[in-house]
């Protein structure tokens, strides 16, 4: 009887080990087929730490890059999906996404290049540029005291990057209906759109993107804040205005600014002036934890927009050009 019991325990242990091996080998699938939280655990186990350390070093030198890396991820996913197409350089035969007017102010490409170079040295041909962009945005948010969240990996890099595709990007002049439509085409609800707009708690806007509000005497713009914006614009179209008082800290101050009629962009302020989204803004202004939760959920979802998988994409050796 004792011998049989030992055999049963041994078999149970072997079965448990087999199940564990299946979990490790198969990974934790998430959403889109092929994307997994542990996608690189066997092929490039230090991928996440390499990206995180690279981002942290860059942000210690220049904290404003946090907003830039998050914005890069947005602009990548909204055009051709999250496939690293924003990173591709233009050639004599093709003008790429990064050279469209809406993308000329993007920064942080060197951070992605740095991480990619290290990853190619450690595990060549394994980690996609699209995944690096997504991880860098996540790590920039955490570095800026934002919510902690993980994202599934396994995106492939796209082979197309054309300036004409950037027409799909939301514009600073969009009203709420246009924003809801633009985000809705990518599967987001109005609430998710407002949560994602909260990324404007980081960074700045250039005068060229909001000066028309000053010329048209926007009734939804606080008069004192209008004077602040006018002073900013006195330095020219490239002069920068922070979206809120804590431009390098991820918090809910952005939503409080909207309630005070101190949203920088027209597309910011309309979120509060429009009845359909006003209560969402008000809720996030009162409850930062709720904003953080909804934001991280929406970011994970955004990172899966039109993902390239298998033969539909590649892993670029150099993020700035297709293989």
pLDDT at 41 over 90: yes
The confidence score (pLDDT) of residue 227 equals: 94
Binding-site residues, in ranges, read 76, 79, 81, 83, 85, 97, 170, 200-201, 244, 246, 251
The confidence score (pLDDT) of residue 19 equals: 37
The confidence score (pLDDT) of residue 215 equals: 79
Q: Over the stretch 87-107, which tens digit does the pLDDT of each residue have?
A: 999 999 999 999 999 899 999
Average pLDDT for 176-183: 96
The confidence score (pLDDT) of residue 24 equals: 38
Separation of alpha carbons 66 and 60, rounded Å: 10
- Above pLDDT 70, what percent of the chain? 90
The confidence score (pLDDT) of residue 32 equals: 52
Q: Over the stretch 222-261, which tens digit does the pLDDT of each residue have?
A: 999 999 999 999 999 999 999 999 999 999 999 999 999 9
Average pLDDT for 54-68: 97
Binding-site residues for Ca(2+), in ranges, read 76, 79, 81, 83, 85, 97, 201, 244, 246, 251
pLDDT at 55 over 90: yes
State the pLDDT confidence band at 6, using cuts at 50, 70 and 90.
very low
Separation of alpha carbons 148 and 143, rounded Å: 9
Query: Could you give all domains of the chain from N- to C-terminal order, each with its CATH number?
Result: 46-168 (1.10.520.10), 176-303 (1.10.420.10)
Q: Model-level pTM?
A: 0.88
Pick from 8-22, 145-159, 189-203: least confident = 8-22
The confidence score (pLDDT) of residue 11 equals: 44
Binding-site residues for heme b, in ranges, read 200
Average pLDDT for 211-223: 86
Q: Please state, rounded to an integer, the average pLDDT across all residues of the chain.
A: 90
Average pLDDT for 264-279: 96
Angle between helix axes 275-286 and 266-273 (nearest 10 degrees) is 100
Catalytic option among 52, 75, 153, 261: 75
The confidence score (pLDDT) of residue 10 equals: 43
In the 8-state DSSP scheme, what is residue 104?
Answer: T
Q: Over the stretch 156-165, which tens digit does the pLDDT of each residue have?
A: 999 999 999 9
pLDDT at 29 over 70: no
pLDDT at 203 over 60: yes
Tell me if 24 sits within 8 A of 41, measured CB to CB.
yes
Q: Residue 319: which residues within 8 A CB-CB, separation 6 or more?
A: 84, 87, 88, 112, 113, 116, 129, 132, 157
Measured at the CA of 133, the angle between CA 128 and CA 137, to 5 degrees, comes to 145
The confidence score (pLDDT) of residue 33 equals: 55
Binding-site residues for substrate, in ranges, read 170
Q: Over the stretch 185-195, which tens digit does the pLDDT of each residue have?
A: 999 999 999 99
User: Is 75 one of the annotated active-site residues of the chain?
Assistant: yes
Q: Residue 77: which residues within 8 A CB-CB, separation 6 or more?
A: 186, 302, 303, 305, 306
pLDDT at 169 over 60: yes
């Amino acid at each position: 009887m004792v011998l049989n019991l030992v055999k049963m325990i041994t078999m149970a242990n072997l079965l448990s080990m087999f199940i564990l091996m299946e979990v490790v080998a198969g990974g934790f699938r998430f959403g889109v087929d092929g994307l997994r939280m542990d996608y690189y655990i066997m092929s490039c186990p230090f991928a996440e730490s390499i990206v995180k350390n690279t981002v942290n070093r860059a942000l210690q030198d220049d904290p404003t890059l946090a907003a830039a890396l998050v914005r890069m991820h947005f602009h990548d996913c909204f055009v051709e999906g999250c496939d690293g197409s924003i990173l591709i350089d233009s050639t004599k035969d093709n003008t790429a996404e990064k050279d469209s007017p809406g993308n000329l102010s993007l920064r942080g490409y060197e951070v992605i290049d740095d991480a990619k170079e290290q990853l190619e040295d450690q595990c060549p041909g394994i980690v996609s540029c699209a995944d690096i962009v997504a991880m860098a945005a996540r790590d920039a948010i955490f570095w800026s005291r934002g919510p902690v969240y993980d994202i599934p990996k396994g995106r492939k890099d796209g082979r197309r990057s054309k300036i004409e595709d950037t027409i799909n990007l939301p514009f600073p002049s969009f009203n709420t209906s246009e924003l809801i439509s633009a985000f809705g085409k990518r599967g987001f609800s109005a609430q998710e759109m407002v949560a994602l707009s909260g990324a404007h708690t980081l960074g700045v806007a250039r005068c060229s993107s909001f000066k028309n509000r000053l010329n048209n005497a926007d009734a939804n713009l606080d008069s004192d804040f209008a004077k602040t914006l006018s002073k900013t614009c006195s330095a020219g179209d490239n002069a920068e205005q922070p979206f809120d008082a804590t431009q390098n800290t991820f918090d809910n101050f952005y939503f409080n600014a909207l309630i005070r009629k101190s949203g920088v962009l027209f597309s910011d302020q309309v979120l509060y002036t429009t009845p359909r989204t006003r209560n969402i803004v008000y809720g996030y202004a009162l409850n930062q934890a709720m904003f953080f939760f909804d934001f991280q959920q929406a970011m994970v979802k955004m990172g899966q927009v039109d993902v390239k998988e298998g033969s539909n994409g590649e892993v670029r050796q150099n993020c700035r050009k297709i293989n």
